[in-house]
Amino acid sequence: MGAAGNEIEIGKKDTAAEAGGDTLAAALELLWSERPAPKRGPKPALTLETIARAGMGLADADGLAAVTMQNVAAALGYTKMALYRYVPGKVELVALMTDIGFGAPPALPSGTEGWRPSLELWARRLFERFVAHPWTLEATVGIRPLGPNEVAWLEQAVQSLAGTGLPGAEKFDVAATLAGHVRATAQQSVGGDGKPEQAFHATVGLILDRHQDRYPALSAAFAEVAAHGGQDQALEFGLGRILDGVDLHIAATRERPRR
Amino acid sequence: MGAAGNEIEIGKKDTAAEAGGDTLAAALELLWSERPAPKRGPKPALTLETIARAGMGLADADGLAAVTMQNVAAALGYTKMALYRYVPGKVELVALMTDIGFGAPPALPSGTEGWRPSLELWARRLFERFVAHPWTLEATVGIRPLGPNEVAWLEQAVQSLAGTGLPGAEKFDVAATLAGHVRATAQQSVGGDGKPEQAFHATVGLILDRHQDRYPALSAAFAEVAAHGGQDQALEFGLGRILDGVDLHIAATRERPRR
DNA sequence: ACGGCACAGCGTCCATCATACACTGTATCC
DNA sequence: GGATACAGTGTATGATGGACGCTGTGCCGT
């Protein structure tokens, strides 16, 4: 399957592989508002923003699967084909929804000082966004275009590490690690259709009830998890450990600065 | 069209919400081999394993989107409806593929001692599994059934923490945090259709090229990332930080043991 | 021995979905 | 005052997951 694809595979745009190239570029254009702004013709009745918001409403309520071109259009009172005047395809629409769903990271309160409190706040806020729009978890797997807001979150995290003396690459790694932790935690605490319900723990508990013998260590550990309040502390625990480790690393870097 | 059509909403199984209940139970049955084993009738020509392997082949080659009932059946030389004699639906098939994709965690080499080397090895191996079958990333979003292998991975991680004196709930949290980190890292280093291509970094780089002014800290940091070998160390960096933090926490717990 | 029944595999049918394409009307520029 | 670019619509199409009923097969109880 090269660039041409002269094999079978006419018809639909694409299915899975190789779609990234074209779609990614189109989505980036959309997300970064690099669009020509038409001059002639009837005025557009809709906005990208309006459309995306409609999609978000559906996704928040009934999950990402409820976001069909039909449903989005119906929610706006238009036909689905009208949407294609604004969006190249569904993938791009979801990408737009996702970036809007994250929103810009709120500015850190003026009192916040030091990289650690900043990053803690950052992580908790990001977590809240994931919980508020659980479908963003589904929407952000695999290669995909990044929107301005998503990049802005990264920027803020890296900025928080300004005074640490870490090399830039490691600042980036810290941000990525934290984002990953937040993401993974959110993924475990959120149900498939969007409702937070400690889904992961519930499933594990269900299984261990029936197979304690097979997983002795896990069963013992999990009994204590259930006894305590569940997984509510999963975000904080990992966050604490990671930032402790980062702290250590910063200290070590200061003592033995890189050449 | 038949005469009877006055019912509301017969037909398809479900779309998004609430499907979890029924499907999850069915999938658990399948994954944990709690199936009755038929006595009468013709011998099944296929196996769950065979079917799942066929699906995995497609997913490995062309991504999860290539896994359609049609394609899987064709790969086996049967019609798609034959598959429904083995699998309740596609969701369950993918769940099965996923669990087989993880496989059982290999036993730790006999020389491995101490929780830290064990967990490091564990994390690296898990990472390899994600990279070997990138579609498992897509397949493991949202609420979903866990298979025996997936639970076995958790078991091994918790077991590695046996001598640490950590409370059970925290062992579990450590395992979850590590698994989350591995997952998130894999997600960033793997392309959408399954090819590892440092996708995330490539996209970020592309964007920052055009918007350096808007994200100064990130741009500066990222320049160094690009100068170095890319993101190959993302897994190890986060792993090091997390385990450092865990180490600290274990030491603290020993000094100030919980009641 | 044998007939019924449970079960394998298949063919057909259908609803849903993303998207292509052609058409109609409209607002702006020359 | 057109020509033209563009908005919204209607219809068509191919792919997909899945329901349902049919045909054959092989074990089990009689």
- Model confidence at A114: pLDDT above 70: yes
Domain identity same for B153 and B239: yes
Residue range A23-63, pLDDT digits in tens? 888 899 999 988 888 889 999 999 999 999 999 999 999 99
Q: What is the pLDDT of residue B196?
A: 56
Residue range A122-140, pLDDT digits in tens? 999 999 999 999 999 999 9
Domain identity same for B84 and B123: no
Percent of chain A clearing pLDDT 90 (strictly above): 71
Convert A9-22 into a string of H (helix), E (strand) and C (coil): CCCCCCCCCCHHHH
Q: Min CA distance, B44 vs chain A (Å)?
A: 28
Domain identity same for A187 and A126: yes
Which of the listed residues B101, B123, B144 is the one where a domain comes to its end? B101
Q: How confident is the model at residue A233 (pLDDT cuts 50, 70, 90)?
A: confident
Cα–Cα distance, A167 to A173 (Å, whole number): 10
Reading the block at residue B174, the tokens are 């450590």
Position B200, amino acid: F
Strand D close residues, chain A 39-78, CB < 7 angstroms: 39-46, 73, 78
**CATH value at residue A55:** 1.10.10.60
Overall domain count for chain B: 2
How far apart, in Å, are the Cα atoms of B21 and each of A190, B14, B18? 15, 11, 6
Check residues B22 and A66 and name the one with the higher pLDDT. A66
pLDDT, chain A, mean: 88
- Model confidence at A19: pLDDT above 50: no
**A211 and A199 Cβ atoms separated by less than 8 Å:** no
Range of B81's domain?
Answer: 19-34+43-101
**ipTM for the predicted complex:** 0.90
Q: Residue B57: inside a domain, yes or no?
A: yes
Q: What is the pLDDT of residue B200?
A: 85
- Rg of the Cα atoms in chain B: 23
Residue located via tokens 């990332």: B225
Domain identity same for B109 and B184: yes
Q: Min CA distance, B45 vs chain A (Å)?
A: 30
Domain identity same for B55 and B109: no
The per-residue b/e assignment along B190-199, b for 16 or more CB within 10 angstroms, e otherwise, is bbbbbeeebb
Residue range B208-245, pLDDT digits in tens? 999 999 999 999 999 988 777 666 789 999 999 999 99
Contacts of A9 (CB under 8 A, 6+ apart): A15
- Model confidence at A104: pLDDT above 60: yes
Closest-CA residue of A relative to B219 is A155
Q: Residue B193: inside a domain, yes or no?
A: yes
- Model confidence at A143: pLDDT above 90: no
Domain identity same for B127 and B162: yes
What SS3 state is found at A111? coil
Which of the listed residues B101, B119, B137 is the one where a domain comes to its end? B101
Q: Residue B176: inside a domain, yes or no?
A: yes
Q: Is strand D less than 7 A from the beta carbon of B229? A: no
Which of the listed residues A75, A101, A127 is the one where a domain comes to its end? A101
With CB atoms and an 8 Å threshold, state whether A204 touches B176. no
A145 vs B contacts (CB less than 8 Å): 203
What SS3 state is found at A72? helix
- Model confidence at A253: pLDDT above 80: yes
Rounding to the nearest 10 degrees, give the CA dihedral for residues B54, B56, B58, B63: 160
**A137 and B144 Cβ atoms separated by less than 8 Å:** no
With CB atoms and an 8 Å threshold, state whether A172 touches B245. no
HSE at residue B80, side-chain half, CA atoms within 13 A, is 10
Q: How far is the CA of B68 from the C1' of D17 (A)?
A: 9
Sites in chain B below the pLDDT cut of 70: 1-21, 191-197, 229-231, 257-259
Domain identity same for B124 and B240: yes
How far apart, in Å, are the Cα atoms of A59 and each of A24, A31, A74, A135, B149? 22, 19, 14, 7, 32
Domain identity same for A47 and A124: no
- Which residue of A177, A200, A222 to mutate against B (max B Cβ within 10 Å)? A177
Residue range A193-230, pLDDT digits in tens? 545 567 788 889 999 999 999 999 999 999 988 777 66
Reading the block at residue B249, the tokens are 């926490």
Domain identity same for A95 and A157: no
Residue A49 CB: number of other CB atoms within 10 A? 10
**CATH value at residue B136:** 1.10.357.10
Write phi, then psi, for A148 (nearest 5 degrees).
-55, -40
Domain identity same for A51 and A127: no
Picking from A148, A228, A234, the nearest residue to B176 by CB comes out as: A234
Q: Number of A:B CB contacts under 8 A?
A: 285
Cα–Cα distance, A131 to A185 (Å, whole number): 10
Domain identity same for A182 and A140: yes
With CB atoms and an 8 Å threshold, state whether B193 touches A20. yes
Q: What is the pLDDT of residue B3?
A: 37
Q: Residue B241: inside a domain, yes or no?
A: yes
Q: Residue B121: inside a domain, yes or no?
A: yes
With CB atoms and an 8 Å threshold, state whether A225 touches B168. yes
With CB atoms and an 8 Å threshold, state whether A158 touches B221. yes
Cα–Cα distance, A119 to A235 (Å, whole number): 13
Cα–Cα distance, B144 to A51 (Å, whole number): 30
Q: Residue A125: inside a domain, yes or no?
A: yes
Domain identity same for B81 and B125: no
> Which residue is nearest to the C1' sugar atom of D25, using CA?
B42
Strand D close residues, chain B 39-78, CB < 7 angstroms: 39-43, 67-71
